[in-house]
Structure 1
Amino acid sequence: MISLKDDTIKKRAFGAFLSVMVSYFIPSMLQASVGTAMPQILNDIGGMSMYWWVFDAFTLSMALVIPIFGKLSDIFGRKYLYITGLVIFIVASFFGGISHNIYWLIGASAAQGVGGGAILAIGPAIIGDYFPSKERGKYQGFVGGVLAVASVLGPLLSGYLVGTVGWRWVFFINIPIGLGAILMDFIFLSKTSPNTDKNATIDYRGITTLSVMLFSMLLGFTYVSIDNTWFERQTLALFFLSAIFFFIFYRVEHRQKNPVIDFKLFGNEVFSIFNILSFLTEFAMYGSFIYIPLFVEAVQGKTALNTGVILAPMMLSAILTSIISGIYFSKTGKYKLITITGIILMAYGLYRMSYLTPSSSDMTLYIDMIIVGLGMGLELSIPFSVLQGVVSKKELGVALSSERFFNSVGGVVGAAVIGTVVNTYYEDKISTLPKILNYVMPKEFLQWMNNPQLLMEKQRIISSSPIFARSTLESLLNEMTNWFSQAINNAFFIAFLVMASAAVVAIFLKRVKITN
């Protein structure tokens, strides 16, 4: 950690903090913006059947590399690994922008996940290097605010770019921002981290076994989230392979002097509980909130821009409470009450959302979003700030990256589990439809009947059907809309139950003295 008594060092530390914020902004904005552009992307390059792989490739590769980059930054220092992550992300953004088919785009998304994983793994550790524990909470709060701003700005900027210069600029826009971030990193970041261990060695066996274990597990959950295939051979084989390599990884790491993940860290109760909370929170939030655009656009029949507007209050309230909680933690060192309050607010907001209907007003959605956002902001910056004060300097990178890792895995698993519930409920309802529909409904309708995105094309489908079937088709589509709304209600209720369990876990947090 660097002393901030000298004015020159203070300015350098603040410059490093700004470079981290700019770097964090890029992958966060991309995650939020690609979804808005996807309809136009698919219209241009095709690949509707591979739709979800664009998102899952990013998430999977990011989760895979986070613990690895976190450990490597403890060995070799933060600066050049951080810049490497930015370079990978920029190059991948360029290839994403020139994609000519869906497979090219999926590959670019996977590469962006690698770069984004490096950024998200190392960024918090950089703040830990430059600021004492009494100030970290405040700065982590501002980083949380940046993430919220990116989530709001992403869909709005994406909608504007798609409507003016085309969807490719959703990727190209990252290049100048990324180059600016790299320039700031060269200027402000120290050449090596204060925690660098020159005698440390790379745990190649740990990295290899961890990579196989994570890739198998995450790919298995990805298959489940896309195709609802829990008991297919390929899914079971991937989970079995993951279990085997977890056992091998565990044995390997206990024999290493410098392991990728030191399992002794989990003997620290605060460390373990915050990682569990990170997993549960992302399980609930990512697993359920991926259905917000579908609820707004498919159930309520609104536009992608409406989705961005409805999400904005959540992000703005998250910015407010993220900064407030960071400042409060910096002044008091207290974190248990903030964490529990944030989780309870998120749980309450999700519970309210489990009662949304196609006729719910925008004001109802705004209130729900604000409640969830207030809780999200309270909980957002605290884990980073606390974990930096309960581990040693040499373990800072791997400790902070572990929180991001459990967060990413929680999102993948949550999407698979909640997605299974939503799809099963909706498909069960669809299966009750009479077989006579096969003779009177448009072929396009029958082919896509199990796909909720069909509901976004209701008017076009009705107008293209035979006149004698239009009234029946309209009634049927309205009933299917109600079914899908109920399926999404189930998603939010499961998310509420998960957040309620997180609140119980948070009760066991103990107050510890945060060291400088």
Structure 2
Amino acid sequence: MATSTPTGVRGSHAKHGAGAGSDAPMTHRQIMEALSGLLLGMFAAVIASTIVSNALPEIIAELGGGQSAYTWVVTASLLTMTASTPLWGKLADLSSKKALVQVALCIYIAGSLVAGLARNPGMLITARAVQGLGAGGLAALSQIIMAAMISPRERGRYSGYLGATFAVATVGGPLLGGVITDTPWLGWRWCLYVGVPFALVALLVLQKTLHLPVTRRKVSVDWAGACLVTAAVCLLLVWVTFADDKYDWLSWQTCAMVGGAIVLALVFLLVETRASEPIIPLRLFRNRTITLASLASLLVGVAMFAGTVYFSQYFQLARGQSPTMSGVMTIPMIGGLFVSSTVSGLVITRTGRWKAWLVAGGVLVTAGLGLLGTMRYDTPYWHLALFMAAMGLGIGMMMQNLVLSTQNQVAPQDLGAASSVVTFFRSLGGAVGVSVLGSVMSTRIGHHAEDTVSSLGPGERAAAGRTLAGGGIPDMDLLPPHIRTWLEGAYGHGIADVFLYVTPVAFLAFLVTLFIKEVPLRTSGALAQAAERQPDAVRAGGTAAARAAGTEGPEEDVPSRATASRTGEDTAGGAADTPSGGGIPVRGRVRGAEDAPVPRAAVTLISLTGRRLGRSVARGDGGYALDAPGAGTYVLIASADGFQPQASTIVVDGGPLLAHDILLNGTSGLGGVVRAAGSGEPVTGATVVVTDVRGDVLAAGQTGEQGLFTFAELVPGPVTVAVNAAGHRPAALPVEVGGTGVTRVEVELRTGARVRGTVRAAGGPLDDARVTLVDVAGNVVATATTGADGAYAFTDLDGGEYTVIAGGYPPVATGVRVSGHGVENHDIELAHPGE
């Protein structure tokens, strides 16, 4: 029988440590409140990209652009989203995630407002690039913040919400954009303003609901890497956009641009190997899952954006539909994405298995794209609906789960970088895919138009030639019927070729997913994982830090806490050990609560493989000194009696001196008294159990003659105190153990009564009879089933009137009064009617 925490339970403590409580797991309600702002921000970002898809033919026609402008309105936002995603991810590892997502929303709002005021294609493309910068932050940070709060095992459920939001925005965007575009008193410009109110509300909601710990360490942003990767991607996209239009695929321009992009990429890789905080940590790719998931995301991005961008052109230019109906006709694809992303998330949470969804998604995406490659301007719509649904189902299964598989493989401090790497490659695939496929589509439409121009009459051929020579997006309503049908056929066949060409790319993504190894999903979020590592011994801390850095050395080489403490005791006067010399000095102070020095703290420097390289014992002012053998990444471990051990990764860049202060959290005590509610009498012999946020028992004991209990050497932070005593109802309460001193609590136990008895029939005990206890308000308090002896029992009851209902024969209801303590015997006789 479930019991609730008594209202008489009270807790208090004398002193709190800084940052206490930051490791407490978030409840479902807290997670949903925090996600509400993120989902609003994601909705605004997604709707901004999809709402213009059905309006683009009219936008480009009004602003005077051609197919290149059509492509670049989409590509510009994808480009900045791609280039900025790793940067957002790195910043998320180094600074406040909440502040970053709010900055991304502000950038998105500014870009939206400028885009709505565009007077030419260039201004619109520039504003869309600014929009993409903000959208890149929202896309990357949403995944990162979700991973910080939620364990991989539970994340599937919440990723379903993210996928559902993506699907709703994708469905609503084209529909809303079509309606706005077709409304004379609104026009297409309002399509670019629609996301602004959602972004403003998201700003307010995030300010109120999102509360995450802030990483307090010096930020070192790899600006050189960000500029190089942006330049390389830009050069690549400029090449594929104008190839086969302004110049041939095989030309000196191609050699210059492709060669330049390769050189920039190589320089980028060189910079990343030397950067102290690389924008894309190359060591992550030592993990096979991350490498394969990134490659699969690149390929899936091509397929995903090809479908969302070119369907609007197909339905409007090849089938003569309005912008509104163009959005309606894409519902099967988005419906499939909505269903698969939501259902797969729920099933993954329940089973913990995710690879089968990736493989099935690859099959469906490949099949859907291959079938779409057979469409023509007059293909029956129900055929297209089935093809689009298959494609949408596959994308929904793959998109979120590729990120999930990556997040499950990395340490908490690399979560942002790893998540953004996968998102980066997906956006890169989309940007390159849209550019390449846009160029291919223009070429194929021209070829199909030239091949079928003979079907027109002599006079119509001249008009057709002028239509093609214009280079812009044609207005189908102004064309003669025969020319319109001829051009619709060319557009239908040319766009179908785009899907046909991208089918091998989707098949390659499917093959990549086959080689991704399925690893069981973790059951704790990134914040909880980070918290779990800190209470462990120094040995575990050093190994965890080494694992976070990408390697895992032999545990036997990592000094234990006892060894480190003993080293400190062996040093006379507590003076720091003298550095060996010949290396790079590492200096700093070991501090405790309120910046107080921690003398005699043992500080040990180890390599990433666990080999000890140096040690020091802090002086009276907390200062320590040791030498690193050379430039590189190391693990620094600090411990002291009465404090929680701390392990951190340091990067020595070859400078003359590295300053690194260490903050230790002190261990504290917990004590209190257990009393009986009402009388205030101490409860002797009550069992008191203290558990941490994971449910592990930290301490246990019994109260003394005065109802007192005391536990020493507890780590500061949230704990649960559970108390149980004979004749009383058990109680549990959350307590925040302070950073110093003894936290005091007072627990009041209410007395609890029992009702027990035997159910009999025909003079003997009745087996398997159902007994229900109901209070005076008609609420079911508890149920029980009798055993072979016919006995039943209800415990931990408050005083008052109850009804006991027994079934098995015709049910019998009898009343019983419970005094609030002791045992009430209540036997029940059952019989058939008339007996």
Q: Identify whether the pair has TM-score above 0.5, normalized to the shorter chain.
A: yes
Preserved CA contact (<8 Å) 2:163 2:341? yes
C-alpha deviation, 1:183, in angstroms? 0.7
What is the CA–CA distance in structure 1 between the aligned matches of 2:461 and 2:36, rounded to whole Å?
Answer: 55
Preserved CA contact (<8 Å) 1:223 1:235? no
- Pairing 1:388–2:388 present: no
- Pairing 1:491–2:491 present: no
Preserved CA contact (<8 Å) 1:297 1:456? no
What is the CA–CA distance in structure 2 between the aligned matches of 1:509 and 1:273, rounded to whole Å?
Answer: 6
What is the CA–CA distance in structure 2 between the aligned matches of 1:385 and 1:23, rounded to whole Å?
Answer: 20
* 1:3-38 deviation per Cα after TM superposition (whole angstroms, max 9, x unaligned): 66565xx43322111111111111211111112223
What is the CA–CA distance in structure 2 between the aligned matches of 1:52 and 1:107, rounded to whole Å?
Answer: 13
What is the CA–CA distance in structure 2 between the aligned matches of 1:168 and 1:260, rounded to whole Å?
Answer: 36
Match of 1:312 in 2: 331
Match of 1:144 in 2: 163
- Pairing 1:293–2:300 present: no
- Pairing 1:29–2:47 present: yes
Match of 2:382 in 1: 363
Match of 1:343 in 2: 362
Preserved CA contact (<8 Å) 1:285 1:495? no
* 1:251-295 deviation per Cα after TM superposition (whole angstroms, max 9, x unaligned): 111122321111111111111111111111121232355332222
**Cα RMSD (Å) of the superposition?**
2.8
Match of 2:98 in 1: 79
C-alpha deviation, 1:227, in angstroms? 5.7
Match of 1:406 in 2: 425
The amino acid that maps onto 1:38 is L
What is the CA–CA distance in structure 1 between the aligned matches of 2:438 and 2:56, rounded to whole Å?
Answer: 19
C-alpha deviation, 1:80, in angstroms? 1.0
Select which of 494, 505, 512 maps to 2:512: 505
The amino acid that maps onto 1:16 is A
The amino acid that maps onto 2:360 is T
C-alpha deviation, 1:440, in angstroms? 3.2
Preserved CA contact (<8 Å) 1:16 1:188? yes
> Aligned in 2, Cα 1:144/1:280: closer, same or farther, shift over 3 Å?
same
Select which of 174, 177, 193 maps to 2:198: 177
What is the CA–CA distance in structure 2 between the aligned matches of 1:333 and 1:376, rounded to whole Å?
Answer: 20
What is the CA–CA distance in structure 2 between the aligned matches of 1:438 and 1:355, rounded to whole Å?
Answer: 28
C-alpha deviation, 1:453, in angstroms? 7.1
Preserved CA contact (<8 Å) 1:427 1:450? no
The amino acid that maps onto 2:459 is V
Preserved CA contact (<8 Å) 1:225 1:415? no
What fraction of aligned residue pairs are identical, expressed as a percent? 26
Q: What pairs up with 1:442-461 in 2 under 5 angstroms?
A: 445-449=464-468, 457=476, 460-461=478-479
Larger relative helix fraction? 1
Q: What pairs up with 1:63-142 in 2 under 5 angstroms?
A: 63-142=82-161
> Aligned in 2, Cα 1:433/1:352: closer, same or farther, shift over 3 Å?
closer
* 1:166-223 deviation per Cα after TM superposition (whole angstroms, max 9, x unaligned): 2222122222211100111111222644xx3614522233223223223322333333
Deviates more, 1:247-256 or 1:416-425: 416-425
C-alpha deviation, 1:433, in angstroms? 6.9
Deviates more, 1:286-295 or 1:305-314: 286-295
- Secondary structure at the residue paired with 2:408? helix
What is the CA–CA distance in structure 1 between the aligned matches of 2:244 and 2:88, rounded to whole Å?
Answer: 27
Which sections of structure 1, spanning at least 5 residues, go unmatched? Answer: 464-473
- Secondary structure at the residue paired with 1:514? coil
Which sections of structure 2, spanning at least 5 residues, go unmatched? Answer: 1-20, 525-835
What is the CA–CA distance in structure 2 between the aligned matches of 1:192 and 1:455, rounded to whole Å?
Answer: 54
Deviates more, 1:503-512 or 1:421-430: 421-430
Preserved CA contact (<8 Å) 1:445 1:454? no
What is the CA–CA distance in structure 1 between the aligned matches of 2:238 and 2:471, rounded to whole Å?
Answer: 23
Match of 2:262 in 1: 243
What is the CA–CA distance in structure 1 between the aligned matches of 2:341 and 2:454, rounded to whole Å?
Answer: 53
What is the CA–CA distance in structure 1 between the aligned matches of 2:453 and 2:405, rounded to whole Å?
Answer: 57
What is the CA–CA distance in structure 1 between the aligned matches of 2:244 and 2:143, rounded to whole Å?
Answer: 30
- Secondary structure at the residue paired with 1:359? coil
Deviates more, 1:293-302 or 1:435-444: 435-444
What is the CA–CA distance in structure 2 between the aligned matches of 1:281 and 1:353, rounded to whole Å?
Answer: 16
Preserved CA contact (<8 Å) 1:225 1:419? no
What is the CA–CA distance in structure 2 between the aligned matches of 1:96 and 1:283, rounded to whole Å?
Answer: 25
TM-score (norm 2): 0.56
Match of 2:179 in 1: 160
> Aligned in 2, Cα 1:180/1:225: closer, same or farther, shift over 3 Å?
farther
Preserved CA contact (<8 Å) 2:353 2:520? no
- Secondary structure at the residue paired with 2:479? helix
Select which of 187, 191, 198 maps to 2:217: 198
> Aligned in 2, Cα 1:278/1:240: closer, same or farther, shift over 3 Å?
same
* 1:474-497 deviation per Cα after TM superposition (whole angstroms, max 9, x unaligned): 1x6544443443333322222222
Match of 2:33 in 1: 15
The amino acid that maps onto 2:141 is I
Preserved CA contact (<8 Å) 1:47 1:102? yes
- Secondary structure at the residue paired with 1:54? helix
What is the CA–CA distance in structure 2 between the aligned matches of 1:222 and 1:242, rounded to whole Å?
Answer: 14
Preserved CA contact (<8 Å) 1:339 1:378? yes
- Pairing 1:329–2:348 present: yes
The amino acid that maps onto 2:239 is G
> Aligned in 2, Cα 1:79/1:324: closer, same or farther, shift over 3 Å?
same
What is the CA–CA distance in structure 2 between the aligned matches of 1:328 and 1:449, rounded to whole Å?
Answer: 51
Name which one, 1 or 2, has greater alpha-carbon Rg.
2
Larger relative strand fraction? 2
Deviates more, 1:360-369 or 1:144-153: 360-369
Select which of 514, 521, 531 maps to 1:514: 521
What is the CA–CA distance in structure 2 between the aligned matches of 1:490 and 1:228, rounded to whole Å?
Answer: 22
Preserved CA contact (<8 Å) 1:202 1:258? yes
- Pairing 1:462–2:462 present: no
- Secondary structure at the residue paired with 2:447? helix
What is the CA–CA distance in structure 2 between the aligned matches of 1:143 and 1:227, rounded to whole Å?
Answer: 41
- Secondary structure at the residue paired with 2:489? helix
Q: What pairs up with 1:215-254 in 2 under 5 angstroms?
A: 215-224=234-243, 230-231=249-250, 233-254=252-273
> Aligned in 2, Cα 1:200/1:175: closer, same or farther, shift over 3 Å?
closer
Preserved CA contact (<8 Å) 1:224 1:416? no
TM-score (norm 1): 0.89
C-alpha deviation, 1:381, in angstroms? 1.9
The amino acid that maps onto 1:298 is L
* 1:296-348 deviation per Cα after TM superposition (whole angstroms, max 9, x unaligned): 22222222222211111221222112111111222222111110001111211
Match of 1:186 in 2: 207
C-alpha deviation, 1:420, in angstroms? 4.1
What is the CA–CA distance in structure 2 between the aligned matches of 1:177 and 1:285, rounded to whole Å?
Answer: 24
Q: Aligned residue pairs: how many?
A: 500
Deviates more, 1:426-435 or 1:130-139: 426-435
* 1:413-442 deviation per Cα after TM superposition (whole angstroms, max 9, x unaligned): 222333444333333344457899998348
What is the CA–CA distance in structure 1 between the aligned matches of 2:118 and 2:440, rounded to whole Å?
Answer: 33
* 1:342-401 deviation per Cα after TM superposition (whole angstroms, max 9, x unaligned): 111121122222222322222112222222222222223212222221111111111111
